[in-house]
Copies of this chain bind each other. A is one copy, B any other.
Amino acid sequence: MSTKEKIKSAALSLLSKEGYSGTSMRKIGKLVGIRESAIYNHYKSKDAIITEIFNDIKSKSGYTDLLTDELLDKLNKPKEFLKDFSFMLLERWASGLEQQMFGCVLVEQFNKRYDKVSINDLIAEMKKIWEMIFREMINYKFIRENNPSVLADEFIAPLFFIRLKYFTADDKERISYAEKDLLIHIDFFWDSIKR
């Protein structure tokens, strides 16, 4: 990892816990192992680092890469599909990087500093995917007729809830609890949408 990458990584870690004001150049430098003045060799200002972090978050907040052809072949077993894809999401959210990016979005939600990512952006990104999935399931008559947008909202909300409940701390064991909660949700939801 280059020094520049180390700086961004350290800043991300601080930002996700301490917020913008709590993320000082001195703390970043200490975490990387260099003087704060050396940071200016890689970034022209503190804002330049933070802006790059939020651009990264924006570009990495999609999920289309998870939707492989192999997975989409399972759409005809809808309940299994819900489980498989949701578990993939949980696994992604459990990674340290994802938790930090999520933390940044949450922690910086309420100020108006710059054009950053909001929680609503993250939700919209997730909804796009699930709306498409449910539209397909309905088209192929795998599930009951219903409004895909409503199904997406109703399925996503508990998913987001679980993310918030279990993946806001770096605790690897929590994924099993999250999976348990998720299975209960899928069971309940499935009873509402099955033909």
- Mark A residues whose CB is within 8 Å of B: 16-22, 103, 106-107, 109-111, 119-120, 123, 150, 153-154, 156-158, 160-161, 164-165, 168-169, 181, 184-185, 188-189, 191-192
Chain B residues near A119 (CB-CB < 8 A): 164-165, 168
Residue from the list B16, B160, B165, B185 in contact with A154, Cβ < 8 A: B185
Chain B residues near A156 (CB-CB < 8 A): 161
Known: A106-B106, A110-B168, A150-B188. 19 other contacts (CB 8 A): A16-B110, A17-B110, A17-B111, A18-B20, A21-B21, A22-B22, A22-B111, A103-B109, A107-B110, A120-B165, A154-B158, A154-B185, A156-B161, A157-B157, A157-B158, A157-B160, A160-B161, A161-B161, A192-B192
Distance, CA A81 to CA B184, complexed state (A): 25
With both chains docked as a complex, state the minimum distance between the C-beta of A182 and any C-beta of chain B, in angstroms. Answer: 11
